[in-house]
Structure 1
């Protein structure tokens, strides 16, 4: 019997993984970690073993991992020392006698040429896991299709898309489909030091996104591939905070350099169906 612990289980991705696992294996085989007592109690009522813990408290992590075979480490946010938090989880898993660890990494082309420093943490975490001696599964997930409204803004249908992304492409996939695939792997496939690349079946530029939105809405949606300096100046006038602006520029720079353009078939193979295409995803995300 493979007992699986999902960290970050009440976040967007973690909740999809947990809910999918509940449909596949007995609830008693599922453990979760959350930082919120009300959510812990809710999951406990579903029959799942829920623990109150977070990545900054190694003792609580180790206690939650008692009797666990496989830990899914869902990457931390960027509010704290993310790399140290990831190490805390891996180290706690080793001390608790966990056999396998899985990690939600990122599907990026070349770690040595990334503009976004936050993304380098993913590769350093992969290195740390591979050096830990634990059997591992790495889920390299593409940029969520769900993030498109955040990048192009809520007014894109009226104002168009204005980004310094050039003709760079992304093989977008929906977060829920990647979460479902991760659960399927955890429940059905033995951990064997394997890396999965979860991407959509085609890569799209922001010009393609503009065209798809035009067709879906019946309104002309333009895409302006702005110069970075012009974009930064425009966004500063809107009052955006500098840390957020830098994060957006770093993300989009890597897109311009096609860091997220590679297409793999792993997601389709695991799901047993084709992942949702861009136009269908945008229809859902924008309510069109």
Structure 2
């Protein structure tokens, strides 16, 4: 029996959809906070377990009869580490045989600018020390985020980011979900760290070039200084407390934190993952009509 946490989120949905293509629904359970959002999954025969990372009693109930757990990282960055510890403790108490965690491919922990990402490394350490069998999946930045970074306005007027010539080995979220599902069904639990990336690292100049080819319009990327980016965010109404997080994230890209490529995503998919061109064609499909 497989339990997927965060199953109504974007990555969680991709994982569950891929699982349903491989194994009977009665072998799948999901942890959700809002049961109403899981109605379709219930109708498909998936076991719905209501709870949250903060509610230890609900986690203990959710783990009953479970063999493998996929812990999808929580979105509350301030509370994330303790929430993950709650999940790990509940899994161990319930006798779960293997727990997998979705971490990040950030290359150098000691030079990260966005320190909120440190929580991923702390969770990795907690899991490794737990005594549970584990798999850690360090996922690269989803190619899907380029829709946010570029947007419809960027397709017409160009986009400006403080990312310099930093490169990212983007991969589609849907393919990440499929790869995780493949591992959950048949992958070995060998206390291993996987690095899931696309097969090529691309700069934002590459993104602009591919979008130009796909749209027939001249799409431009302009590297900017931090101050201009901060002003952009303020103009969009982004709360000032969040601006350092966004800036730190962009700076880590500029500094090459996500430019490493591996073949491990391709191995789990048993095919080459989508290229930048293939992925952008799907992601910007409505804008290309």
* TM-superposition CA deviations, 1:27-56 (whole Å, max 9, x none): 222111111122344322211111111111
For residues 244 and 217 of structure 1, the distance between their equivalents in structure 2, rounded to whole angstroms, comes to: 32
* TM-superposition CA deviations, 1:5-31 (whole Å, max 9, x none): 110111111111111112212222211
Alpha-carbon contact 1:161-1:224 (below 8 Å) kept: yes
Alpha-carbon contact 2:26-2:46 (below 8 Å) kept: yes
Q: For residue 161 of structure 1, what is the aligned residue in structure 2? A: 159
Secondary structure of the 1:154 match is helix
Alpha-carbon contact 2:144-2:283 (below 8 Å) kept: yes
Evaluate the alpha carbon distance shift between residue 252 and residue 59 of structure 1 in structure 2; reply closer, same or farther with a 3 A threshold.
same
TM-score by length of 1: 0.96
Matches within 5 A, 1:1-288: 3-78=1-76, 81-287=79-285, 288=288
Structure 1 runs, 4 residues or longer, greater than 4 Å off: none
Secondary structure of the 1:201 match is coil
For residues 112 and 79 of structure 1, the distance between their equivalents in structure 2, rounded to whole angstroms, comes to: 19
Alpha-carbon contact 1:78-1:118 (below 8 Å) kept: no
* TM-superposition CA deviations, 1:100-126 (whole Å, max 9, x none): 100000111111111112211111100
Secondary structure of the 1:281 match is helix
For residues 235 and 24 of structure 2, the distance between their equivalents in structure 1, rounded to whole angstroms, comes to: 54
Evaluate the alpha carbon distance shift between residue 115 and residue 79 of structure 1 in structure 2; reply closer, same or farther with a 3 A threshold.
closer
Structure 1: unaligned runs, 5 residues or longer: none
CA-CA distance at 1:190 after TM superposition:
2.1
For residues 80 and 224 of structure 1, the distance between their equivalents in structure 2, rounded to whole angstroms, comes to: 32
Worse-matched range after superposition: 212-221 or 251-260: 212-221
Alpha-carbon contact 1:152-1:163 (below 8 Å) kept: no
* TM-superposition CA deviations, 1:61-104 (whole Å, max 9, x none): 11110111111100000265111111110011111111110000
Evaluate the alpha carbon distance shift between residue 246 and residue 66 of structure 1 in structure 2; reply closer, same or farther with a 3 A threshold.
same
TM-score by length of 2: 0.95
CA-CA distance at 1:195 after TM superposition:
1.4
For residues 130 and 77 of structure 2, the distance between their equivalents in structure 1, rounded to whole angstroms, comes to: 25
Over aligned residues, Cα RMSD in angstroms? 1.3
Worse-matched range after superposition: 233-242 or 91-100: 233-242
Secondary structure of the 1:197 match is strand
Alpha-carbon contact 2:77-2:119 (below 8 Å) kept: no
